Structure formats: structure tokens, C-alpha cells
Amino acid sequence: GAGVSQSPSNKVTEKGKDVELRCDPISGHTALYWYRQSLGQGLEFLIYFQGNSAPDKSGLPSDRFSAERTGGSVSTLTIQRTQQEDSAVYLCASSLERYSNQPQHFGDGTRLSIL
């Protein structure tokens, strides 16, 4: 497709369960970013990938959060033992390169609700 694709679009799960969110970036984009959008915190950076490596994991809120990217394309964000405060919209973005004048293109997000 032409844009960044995220799945699922909505996910409802019980507290304590693990969830996996998927992001398919724009073809050819080497940089990939995960952000979280929540009512209390606004838009927060979580992690970014340059190719398959993640040089900066400083935004991950706890060790329950992890992410990987394979083949320089699809990325998955995994949240283990989910808590209610994990409820948010998780956004993925990609850009052609990691330089600051390259705009990031966002997917529609995954709305995660923890019961």
C-alpha cells in the first residue's frame, strides 16, 4: 500500500495478557518510529529503528515493552503483562531517512484498551 499500515486497528484485552502490535512502513523507508498517544501524556516517543537496529530505546516506559524489526521492513511492538495504564493509541511512523528534515508519515494507529 501507499501509506504506513498498522494492525490491529483496535485491540481490547484483559489486564495481565501480552499483546503484539504490527507496523508495515512505507516501502523503502529505512527509519521507523513508535509513539504512544494517551489522554494524560499526549504524544510520546517510544523507540526508533534504523534498518533492523534500535539505537535508542530510551522512550520505552518499562521493561514490559519491547520491539523488533526484521528485514528492514515490518516492526512489532510487544507489551507483556499489560496494565491499565498501557491503554492508549499506539502510532507507527516511517521516514525515508533518519535526518531531521525528512518528514515522518504516520499510520492510523492501534487503539489498545486494557480491561
Partner 1 sequence: GNSVTQMEGPVTLSEEAFLTINCTYTATGYPSLFWYVQYPGEGLQLLLKATKADDKGSNKGFEATYRKETTSFHLEKGSVQVSDSAVYFCALSDLNNAGNMLTFGGGTRLMVKP
Give the pairing type, strands 42-50 and 53-56.
antiparallel
CB of 49 within 8 A of CB of 38? Answer: no
Stretch that binds partner 1, among 19-27, 61-69, 72-80, 89-97 (CB under 8 A): 89-97
User: Which listed residue (19, 88, 91, 112) binds partner 1 by CB under 8 A?
Assistant: 91
Question: How is residue 25 annotated by DSSP?
Answer: P
Restricting to residues 2-61, name those near partner 1 by CB under 8 A.
Answer: 31, 33, 35, 42-43, 45, 48, 55-56, 59
106 close to 92: Cβ distance less than 8 angstroms:
yes
Contact between 113 and partner 1 by CB under 8 A: the answer reads no
Name the grid cell of 100.
531531521
Looking at beta carbons only, is 61 or 108 nearer to partner 1?
Answer: 108
Identify any residues that bridge with 91 across adjacent strands, giving them in sequence order: 35
Interface residue list for partner 1 (CB under 8 A): 31, 33, 35, 42-43, 45, 48, 55-56, 59, 91, 93, 95, 98-109
